[in-house]
């Protein structure tokens, strides 16, 4: 499973299958190497939209209806499918408050903005995070980082566009303040196509 491809922006549904929002951000415990909580709601989106988000937050507060922020602990996840993430919640019920974030927790939206430097000082960019996909409620563990030399402007900010994708095992990644250091030089990085792949979430069985 790849975090940005298979979790982020995907439909969250109640236990009955009714829509309840999208997975707007994901917390990643970079020290323990696990995927943490799934974040959803207007406040989570506003955090990622810069000035537009700040204006939306201010307007909502002025109207006396602050933007929603729900943090679904992974223990609430019952199934991860190609097209949706099902939560153990009844329709209309609120996401129960989760325990505070662990010390080494970083949001995916922050992690993807960090610069990446290879062992031979080459600049790269975070593309995705490859994770295992155990049966819930076991948490997905981080397998490695997917990086690309494509500049962000080249992709017009879109999420899944990049060339020359490379895989870096998580053990070879060191997180400094605001920067991701790779121990390996660029040429030693494995092309994504030949990297270990735990597989994508199952597709929907199309009704016939």
Partner 1 sequence: MSRLLAATLGVVTAVGGFVDIGELVAMPATGAAFRFALLPVLLLSTVGAMVYAEMAGRIELASQRTVFEIIRERLGLQMGLVVLVIGLLLNVITLIAEIGGMAFVAELVFGQGYLWFVVPMAVGLALFELFGRWSLLENVPSFLGLALLVVPIGLLTGSIPVPWHALATHAVWPHLPTQDHVLFVTAVIAVLGAAMSPYEWYFYSSGGQEEEWTVRDLGVNRATAILGFGLGSILAVSLMVGAGLLFYPNGLQPNHLGQTGLLAAYGFGKTAIWLFLAGAFGCVLGAAIETSLAAAQGTAQFFGWPWGSSRAPRDVPAFTAIYLAAIAVALVFLLLGFDPIKVTIVSLLFGVAGLPLTLAPMLMVANDTHYMDDQTNGPLANVLGVLFLVILTVAASAAFPLVVISGGAI
Point out which residues bind partner 1 (CB under 8 A).
4-5, 8-12, 18-22, 24, 40, 45, 48-49, 83, 156-160, 200, 203-204, 206-208
Q: How many CB atoms lie within 10 A of CB 15?
A: 15
Q: For residue 26, what are its two tokens? A: 């994901």
Our CB check for partner 1 shows the closer of 10 and 182 to be: 10
Report the distance separating Cα 30 and Cα 111, nearest Å. Answer: 10
Our CB check for partner 1 shows the closer of 20 and 148 to be: 20
Provide the minimum distance between the beta carbon of 189 and partner 1 in the complex, in angstroms, as a whole number.
22
Our CB check for partner 1 shows the closer of 5 and 130 to be: 5
Residue 145 in contact with residue 168, Cβ under 8 Å?
yes
Name the burial class of residue 124, with classes exposed (0-12), middle (13-18) and buried (19+) by CB atoms within 10 angstroms of its CB: buried
Our CB check for partner 1 shows the closer of 58 and 83 to be: 83
Cα atoms in the Cβ-side hemisphere of radius 13 Å centred on 39:
24
Provide the minimum distance between the beta carbon of 120 and partner 1 in the complex, in angstroms, as a whole number.
30
C-alpha closest to that of 39 among 53, 60, 22 = 22
Q: For residue 70, what are its two tokens? A: 């729900």
Q: What distance separates the 2 farthest-apart alpha carbons in the chain?
A: 54
Provide the minimum distance between the beta carbon of 64 and partner 1 in the complex, in angstroms, as a whole number.
18
Our CB check for partner 1 shows the closer of 84 and 172 to be: 84
Provide the minimum distance between the beta carbon of 58 and partner 1 in the complex, in angstroms, as a whole number.
18
Provide the minimum distance between the beta carbon of 197 and partner 1 in the complex, in angstroms, as a whole number.
12
Our CB check for partner 1 shows the closer of 54 and 159 to be: 159
Provide the minimum distance between the beta carbon of 20 and partner 1 in the complex, in angstroms, as a whole number.
7
- Specify the DSSP class assigned to residue 157: T
Report the distance separating Cα 75 and Cα 65, nearest Å. Answer: 29
């Amino acid at each position: 499973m790849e975090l940005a491809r298979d979790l982020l922006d995907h439909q969250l549904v109640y236990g009955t299958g009714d829509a309840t929002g999208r997975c707007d951000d994901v917390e990643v415990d970079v020290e323990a190497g696990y995927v943490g909580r799934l974040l959803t709601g207007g406040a989570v989106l506003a955090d990622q939209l810069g000035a537009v988000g700040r204006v939306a937050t201010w307007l909502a507060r002025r109207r006396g209806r602050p933007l929603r922020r729900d943090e679904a602990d992974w223990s609430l996840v019952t199934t991860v499918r190609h097209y949706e993430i099902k939560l153990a919640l009844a329709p209309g019920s609120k996401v129960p408050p989760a325990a505070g974030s662990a010390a080494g927790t970083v949001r995916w939206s922050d992690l993807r903005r960090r610069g990446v430097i290879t062992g031979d000082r080459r600049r790269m960019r975070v593309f995705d995070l490859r994770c295992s996909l155990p049966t819930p409620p076991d948490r997905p563990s981080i397998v490695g980082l997917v990086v690309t030399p494509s500049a962000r402007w080249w992709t017009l900010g879109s999420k899944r566009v990049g060339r020359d994708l490379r895989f870096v095992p998580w053990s070879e990644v060191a997180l400094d303040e605001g920067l991701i250091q790779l121990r390996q030089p660029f040429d030693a990085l494995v092309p994504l196509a030949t990297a270990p792949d735990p597989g994508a979430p199952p597709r929907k069985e199309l009704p016939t």
